[in-house]
Structure 1
Amino acid sequence: MTLSNPVPSLELREARRLLSVDPCAAVAQARRAVAAEPGSLEAHFLLAAALRRSGDPSAACAVLAPLATARPALWGLHYEHGVALATLGQTDAAIAALERATSANAQSSLAWHALGDQLALRNHAEAALAAQMRVVPGYVGDAALADVAGAFFTRGDPRARAALWTRFGLDLNDVAAVRLLADVGMRLGHFAAVEPLLAKTVAFAPAFAPARFSLALALHRLERGAEALGVIGPVADAYAGVAMVVGLHAAIHMQLGNVAQAVAAYESVLPAAAEDSDLWHAYGHALRAIGRQSDAVAAYRRAIAIAPSCGEAWWSLANLKTVRFDAADIARMQAVPDAASANPADRAYLDFALGKALEDERRYAEAFDHYARGNAARKRLEPHDAAAHHRFITQSIAAFDAALFARAAGAGCDAIGPIFVVGMPRSGSTLVEQILASHSQVEGASELPTLTALARDLATANPGYPASISQVPREAFARLGRAYLKQTEVYRSGDRPLFVDKFPGNFLHSGLIHLMLPNAHIIDVRRDPVACCFSIFKQAFARGQAYSYDLEDLAHYYRDYVALMAHFDAVFPGRVHRIVYEDLVDDAESEIRRLLDYCALAFEPHCLRFFETGRNVRTPSSEQVRRPIFRDALDQWRGFEPWLGALIETLGPLARPVTDRP
């Protein structure tokens, strides 16, 4: 059997051309080539490749198996065979074939990446990482590939699509090529653009676990947890003992508030993955959410023992707020060299943890230095466009005017279920949610992504939003309200009639809330601006708070927040109930009674003993709300006052103490 004739037939040339364009047509041409040249290896190879790409991996394997045995030095045969086997879910056989491919051609990024995917499904995490991070042209860390992938995902550039094939050999009809490209895209943060590409691949090859896993991860990052759970289910069933799979499955459960299921998932796999620091770290998060603080501390400590330079694990321990590091802990963190992690985000976490440790020791200058360094690193990774945000606020104030609300009166959904707790992070919103969730009629649903997603969809459908809000048809507001209620059902577990959505950033959409759910309650939690802003500055948020990495950006963002909420106070007086955190600390019962009156709820004494309420809490304040109200956080910022000049100056009159303001 020859590789090809010196002068290939018309059918063979056409099969080559069609392979990456129309695999089904390529099958027909390859079959003609095989009939015309039964001894041609290339004709058989093209037939198998086309069969796999057109959705028939079993037939592809039938063609490839004898060829791979006969020609062990031809890496392409083994790559095709390995991916066909992987598409059928035959992991061990796929690994063997892909190892032959990488042995025959150590420069194939596709073969190495596909091999890594299969090794990961056998719990060989280190070998999988080594395979996928092998520095060859077109590997996931290749800057040239990242540039082309970025153009493809951000602009849908047809030239970029062509370059993926001509420069890197990535045929988007090849499920393994899609997996590699998706990996690059998600590393660049293009989750929304990656999702439809992966969804198409999963529909085409439902048993190809790497693509299904990758799609579930993208949906999880897009906060579409219910969809992610459905996608990951078959993989979780087929690979129940694989740490990577169990970890994602549990994280999705956490996202949906199914914390007990997440804990059970972690505990099912930890005995077999006792040295997996990431798994122990995630397990700690789940334990923390259900209030098992000592167990959470132990899990975080275990993660640190396995990976002493893991900044995120150190930060998770610090982020419990109730844990104090001792001198040995501080020394261990300070001993971690700057080069210990190639991930600058992880190094930033270590700086935030050191800041907390040194602050507890009253070593304020050193603590501030670490907070500043951590924030500077995060700012480089996630820059904030303060001017664009200010334009959004200015346009919102202009667009959501009294005339708009008058025209849209009665247009929204009349449900009374949601209670929105809005404001700035670190303002006391978790405490307010905990108080409300201690009432027999209210469920705490935590921070939901739903309203943000609906507002984003509304902006897509109405270019120029928020200025274009006046062009939205009246009937759209009721649809939005019903969509919000429907989409939040997945986050609710009880039968209480009211529920709290306490995503602070929903303040940006207070006007939209009023239009789509006019009977919903909106509670704005306000804290002393300097205390609030500096508490945000000290908090290493996972993502999405880019304004928090610079003190001046923070102050401008806070001023915009106050201006927007003042506007809504003016256009619909009394619609938003405001709670000042310091007042809640000083006279909890009076403020709680006011809060319940606003929500049309009868007073229940248990709301005063909110710290006894057993519920999952997944935000940074989880441990504080399990204690009675305390005063020790009110003036924590004062030790750092010498370094807060930019914050205080930019806040201007807002920086005056709460007690000095009307």
Structure 2
Amino acid sequence: MTQTAPDLASHYIARGMRNPQLIEAALAINEDRLADAEPLLRAHLRQDPLDVAAIRLMAQLAARLGRFKDSEALLRRAIELAPDFTAARSNLAGILYRQNRFEETVEMLGTVLEVDADDASGQSLMAAALGRIGEYDEALALYSALTDRFPTHAKLWMSFGHVLKTVGKQDEGIAAYRRALEVEPTLGEVWWSLANLKTVRFDEADIAAMEAALDTAALSDDDRLHLHFALGKAFDDRREAETSFGHYDRANAIRHGQLDYDPDIVTRHVDKIIATLTPEFLASRAGQGDATPDPIFILGMPRAGSTLLEQILASHSQIEGTMELPDMPAIALREGKTVPSGWVDAVKEMPGERLAELGSEFLRRTAVQRKTDKPFYIDKLPNNWIYTGLIHLILPNAKIIDARRHPLDCCFSNFRQHFAKGQAFSYSLSDMGRYYSDYVRLMAHFDVVLPGRVHRVIHEAVIEEPEAQVRAMLDYLGVPFEEACLNFHQNKRAVRTASSEQVRRPINRDGVEQWKPYEQWLDPLKDALGGLWQAYPAVPATGK
């Protein structure tokens, strides 16, 4: 009997539950035996290419292997064959989210929740996606309802706490984190989330609870590293530098062992940019990108004061703060796939029309983050420093601010910080010194080949003379001075980064010379930095 589209999914799902080959493939995926699952699924799909249940399994396998584009294509094929295949739509929403396509995620989940409004996993992903596009009120409402339905779900309470923190409801956020710990006291990410507020001081009972959690049998590496980071903060607050550093060192060692980071890759990439983006090359492409002046990029090292600069500028009547946007790296990485050697060589071959198209694409992609009619908006993704040349080429009238902090303070602050994702360089003192050196070297190159294009802001100067530094920034941006920029801590806007609570206080010296009590353990960092830490804020002629 021929199956119509609406019942095709249920037909194949029911049949698959009786198929030993598909049962074994599903079991292999569940047990992480991915190499066993793939040939089983391929063999089955050669015999029955319309089996949407098997296509969905293959998509799940692709996702587990990190092949998100393949997973997306497979899920779209399953939906094309069976438009009412809600499970495939739900999976597709998850794949879109993992590719940072949050607006599309929300749209896809809308169709899922139309079919089943009580789908808790769909609601949870919807809340997360809404938070990523700045729709915080809707996200909070969903999390509130979900925690009412599932009061013993620790990770829901944790996610609720994240959004509450972001919108400035710190006390409620702390209460949500504490509720999560009542349910699951070994959940290391919650302890770290409390520490990461930078305002919570752990008491003796908290420290004892974390130390007890570390002694728990079969504790996961992720829980363990989060607990070590949180205990590092706890003992740092108590001025017990040796114990604190020991916890930070163990936390970083665990995370470093999970990653495959090679500092030489960044060094070679910077070498290629410097060799390619010469004055002659840049002059030959001057003004060929999209001329729209709206974006303001604040870039540099993480933990260098970029959130403070964003909060200052977002307090101006003409400038909107958004978040750390993933779009410039996404564009660069996609374009880089067109040639074996990456985006730098791809740009070499681009006609002016393509540069303009990429600039326009960035503006379209980021439009969802703009919630006001202010003429300018900020992208404060620090790691955009590696794309400074690309930004200049595709958005020649965008403004670029380089946020810079003392190398030892900045790098040690990164060593004490666990990032939700990315920043693989930050889990080794020597890797971090290399990364900082490459960053300074590249920005020094642009100082030479594009003089005045990038406005540098020294973090310590902002602390010592805030009004002069704010006026200089606003002059560079071409907007008038406003007193509100000096009263940035009164701004109630949402802030997603680790500095969210720090920028809700007036400027202070809390972050200055934090490395000094730990200096005896920082030789690997000093060696990797070379003369940079002693010359700061000047840059040695070699950039090292």
TM above 0.5: yes
**Does the 8 Å contact 1:284/1:296 carry over to 2?**
yes
- 2:279 match: 402
Q: Hey, what's the Cα distance between the residues in 1 that align with 2:93 and 2:203?
A: 40
Q: Hey, what's the Cα distance between the residues in 2 that align with 1:148 and 1:224?
A: 31
**Does the 8 Å contact 1:256/1:490 carry over to 2?**
yes
- CA drift of 1:211 comes to 1.9
Q: What amino acid is the match of 2:357? A: R
Map 1:282-361; keep pairs closer than 5 Å. Answer: 282-337=159-214, 340=217, 343-361=220-238
**Does the 8 Å contact 2:50/2:81 carry over to 1?**
no
Q: What amino acid is the match of 1:473? A: P
Matched, 1:514 2:392: yes
**Does the 8 Å contact 1:419/1:500 carry over to 2?**
yes
- CA drift of 1:220 comes to 0.9
Residue by residue over 1:194-231, the C-alpha shift from the partner in whole angstroms, topping out at 9 and shown as x without a partner, is 22222222333333232212211111111111111111
- CA drift of 1:248 comes to 0.4
Task: Decide whether aligned partners of structure 1 residues 350 and 177 sit closer, same or farther in structure 2, where only a CA change above 3 A counts.
Answer: farther
Matched, 1:650 2:528: yes
Matched, 1:140 2:55: no
Map 1:217-616; keep pairs closer than 5 Å. Answer: 217-337=94-214, 340=217, 343-465=220-342, 466-616=344-494
Q: Hey, what's the Cα distance between the residues in 2 that align with 1:261 and 1:593?
A: 37
Q: Which runs of 5+ in 2 are unaligned?
A: none
Task: Decide whether aligned partners of structure 1 residues 492 and 59 sit closer, same or farther in structure 2, where only a CA change above 3 A counts.
Answer: closer
- 1:57 match: 7
Q: Hey, what's the Cα distance between the residues in 1 that align with 2:49 and 2:314?
A: 49
**Does the 8 Å contact 1:478/1:517 carry over to 2?**
yes
- CA drift of 1:485 comes to 0.9
Secondary structure class of the residue paired with 2:531: helix
Deviates more, 1:541-550 or 1:204-213: 204-213
Task: Decide whether aligned partners of structure 1 residues 172 and 612 sit closer, same or farther in structure 2, where only a CA change above 3 A counts.
Answer: farther
Q: What amino acid is the match of 2:95? A: A
- CA drift of 1:521 comes to 0.4
Q: What amino acid is the match of 2:412? A: F
Secondary structure class of the residue paired with 1:329: helix
Report how many aligned residue pairs link the two structures.
Answer: 539
Matched, 1:108 2:23: yes
Deviates more, 1:450-459 or 1:460-469: 460-469
- Residue 203 of structure 1, aligned match among 76, 80, 98: 80
Q: Hey, what's the Cα distance between the residues in 1 that align with 2:374 and 2:218?
A: 46
Q: Hey, what's the Cα distance between the residues in 2 that align with 1:546 and 1:167?
A: 39
Task: Decide whether aligned partners of structure 1 residues 109 and 59 sit closer, same or farther in structure 2, where only a CA change above 3 A counts.
Answer: closer
Q: What amino acid is the match of 1:147? A: A
- CA drift of 1:266 comes to 0.9
Q: Which has the higher contact order (CA 8 A, sep 6+)?
A: 2
Q: Identity, % of aligned pairs?
A: 43
- CA drift of 1:455 comes to 1.0
Secondary structure class of the residue paired with 1:280: helix
Deviates more, 1:620-629 or 1:343-352: 343-352
- CA drift of 1:355 comes to 1.3
Map 1:14-53; keep pairs closer than 5 Å. Answer: none
- Residue 14 of structure 2, aligned match among 64, 81, 84: 81
Q: Which one has a bigger Cα radius of gyration?
A: 1
Task: Decide whether aligned partners of structure 1 residues 170 and 185 sit closer, same or farther in structure 2, where only a CA change above 3 A counts.
Answer: farther
- CA drift of 1:338 comes to 5.5
Secondary structure class of the residue paired with 1:578: strand
- 2:519 match: 641
Secondary structure class of the residue paired with 2:411: helix
Task: Decide whether aligned partners of structure 1 residues 56 and 229 sit closer, same or farther in structure 2, where only a CA change above 3 A counts.
Answer: closer
Secondary structure class of the residue paired with 2:127: helix
Q: Hey, what's the Cα distance between the residues in 1 that align with 2:266 and 2:9?
A: 55
What is the root-mean-square deviation of aligned Cα atoms in Å? Answer: 2.6
**Does the 8 Å contact 1:165/1:171 carry over to 2?**
no
Deviates more, 1:384-393 or 1:202-211: 202-211
Q: Which runs of 5+ in 1 are unaligned?
A: 1-46, 62-78, 84-97, 114-136, 150-159
Task: Decide whether aligned partners of structure 1 residues 168 and 471 sit closer, same or farther in structure 2, where only a CA change above 3 A counts.
Answer: closer
**Does the 8 Å contact 1:236/1:249 carry over to 2?**
no
Secondary structure class of the residue paired with 2:155: helix
- CA drift of 1:168 comes to 11
Task: Decide whether aligned partners of structure 1 residues 332 and 169 sit closer, same or farther in structure 2, where only a CA change above 3 A counts.
Answer: farther
- CA drift of 1:342 comes to 5.9
Secondary structure class of the residue paired with 2:435: helix
- CA drift of 1:57 comes to 2.3
- CA drift of 1:341 comes to 5.5
Task: Decide whether aligned partners of structure 1 residues 605 and 579 sit closer, same or farther in structure 2, where only a CA change above 3 A counts.
Answer: same
Residue by residue over 1:93-135, the C-alpha shift from the partner in whole angstroms, topping out at 9 and shown as x without a partner, is xxxxx6xx69xx899356xx6xxxxxxxxxxxxxxxxxxxxxx
- 1:38 match: none
Residue by residue over 1:310-342, the C-alpha shift from the partner in whole angstroms, topping out at 9 and shown as x without a partner, is 111111111111111111111111111466556
Task: Decide whether aligned partners of structure 1 residues 106 and 261 sit closer, same or farther in structure 2, where only a CA change above 3 A counts.
Answer: same
- CA drift of 1:290 comes to 0.5
- CA drift of 1:386 comes to 1.4
**Does the 8 Å contact 1:289/1:617 carry over to 2?**
yes
- CA drift of 1:404 comes to 0.9
- CA drift of 1:549 comes to 1.1
**Does the 8 Å contact 1:164/1:170 carry over to 2?**
no
- CA drift of 1:176 comes to 3.3
Q: Hey, what's the Cα distance between the residues in 1 that align with 2:163 and 2:148?
A: 17
Q: Hey, what's the Cα distance between the residues in 2 that align with 1:340 and 1:216?
A: 35
Q: What amino acid is the match of 1:360? A: D
